[in-house]
Amino acid sequence: MKYFKSITSALFIGFLTVGQVNAQAIEVRIASHVSEFSPLHAQSQLFAAEIEKRLPGQFEFKLFPGGQLGKEKDLMTNIQAGSLEMINVASGVMKLDGKLGVFDLPWLFADREHVQRAMADGLEDAIRDRIEEVGNVHVVGVYENGFRHVINSQRAVAEPFDLEGLKIRISGGKFRQGVFQQMGATPQKVSWGETFTALQSGVVDGAEAATYGFYEQKHFEVANHLSLTSHVYTPSFLLASKNFMSSLTEEQRAVFTEVGRSITEQAYKTSAELEAKYFEEMKGKLSINEVDLAAFQKATAASYDDYTGKHGSEYLEMVRSAAN
């Protein structure tokens, strides 16, 4: 009987210990408006894994991609209100402040390496500070949503005049629509979920989006040409609510900050690998072509004047100095 009691006591203590450990794990939701095919989802996974290595058992991360907890605007509202712990979003952050709209300028970057140089040379720190100043959020990391390209069913787009007459589904605001209009395209407002059908039926000739968007929606089944226009580069932003960050211990906050920065190089690498994978899987199903980057930059140079007139050239100078 004594043996049975001792075993029972040991089991009780064991269960109590496990319960205490589980009770200590802080639930952290990371929500995103884009799917598990996106680099944002991979970045969230990478961040969660690194935190677990550094602070084992202290957090339980739950990822909610694909707008499960709301669209991008809703996620931004909730993170600012403190009702969500973390989000990983893209262009919604740029709506916080006109100066952040620099990333909506067309053909701003030559390639991913240009982006990385500019970010490392001060652009990342500058936009981090700006977001935290105007957004009431904590910036954990600045990574990549990727370059946006054009897919269409009519012809390869290699130079600006190749867009003339094409009906293109365009996301973003009036500025991006205006850029396409300057080159003769007709912007169309179609919900992302209905773009496949719009392409199939001819309501639109094409669409612009990040590579993973075309892949996940299988647009390659109803379009013949994917032109690597790289007309807009959008960063991704891993954000935490100030309420959540203030609830952490000093050590935990320090680790979140360190990990957020330390995974940056791997985040870029993963984004490039995902894009290469999607290109590889699509290239047998449609034609993929490069474009005359200089011709597009020249055709849209005047579009920078409005931005610099309102917000100055601070960010642009960082980008341009990193061009070479």
Residue 26: pLDDT band (50, 70, 90) is very high
In a domain, 288, yes or no: yes
Q: What is the dihedral of CA 28, 172, 142, 252, to 10 degrees?
A: -20
User: Which residues, in sequence order, are bridge partners of residue 27?
Assistant: 60
In a domain, 321, yes or no: no
Distances (CA, A) of 51 to 10, 205, 207, 243: 32, 45, 38, 19
- Concatenating the DSSP letter of every residue in 43-85 gives HHHHHHHHHHHHSTTSEEEEEE-TTTT--HHHHHHHHHHTSSS
The answer to whether residue 84 scores a pLDDT higher than 70 is: yes
Helix intervals (H) in the chain = 2-24, 39-54, 72-81, 91-94, 112-118, 124-135, 174-182, 195-201, 211-216, 242-247, 250-262, 264-282, 293-299, 304-311, 314-321
CATH of the domain at 12: 3.40.190.170
Residues 6+ apart with CB under 8 A from 264: 141, 142, 143
State residue 303's pLDDT score.
86
Half-sphere exposure of 197 (CA within 13 A, CB side): 5
How far is 79 from 224, CA to CA, in rounded Å? Answer: 40
In a domain, 39, yes or no: yes
The answer to whether residue 235 scores a pLDDT higher than 90 is: yes
Range of lowest pLDDT (58-67, 173-182, 204-213, 264-273): 173-182
Residue 50, amino acid: E
Residue 14: pLDDT band (50, 70, 90) is very low
Mean local confidence (pLDDT), 105-134: 95
State residue 176's pLDDT score.
84
In a domain, 322, yes or no: no
The answer to whether residue 20 scores a pLDDT higher than 90 is: no
Mean local confidence (pLDDT), 199-213: 96
In a domain, 319, yes or no: no
How far is 179 from 11, CA to CA, in rounded Å? Answer: 68
Q: How many domains are contained in the chain? A: 1
The answer to whether residue 21 scores a pLDDT higher than 80 is: no
For 85, other C-beta atoms within 10 Å of its C-beta total 23
The answer to whether residue 161 scores a pLDDT higher than 90 is: yes
pTM over 0.85: yes
State residue 18's pLDDT score.
38
The answer to whether residue 8 scores a pLDDT higher than 60 is: no
Range of the domain at 229: 2-311
Phi, psi dihedral angles at 79 (to 5 degrees):
-70, -35
State residue 13's pLDDT score.
42
State residue 23's pLDDT score.
54
Give the pair of three-digit tokens for residue 149.
Answer: 């390209």
Mean local confidence (pLDDT), 313-317: 95
Supply the mean pLDDT for the chain: 91
Which residues in 52-82 are b (16+ Cβ under 10 Å) and which e? eebbeebbebebbbeeebbebebbbebbbeb
State residue 302's pLDDT score.
87
The answer to whether residue 22 scores a pLDDT higher than 80 is: no
In a domain, 167, yes or no: yes
Mean local confidence (pLDDT), 278-293: 95
In a domain, 320, yes or no: no
pLDDT in tens, 274-283: 999 999 999 9
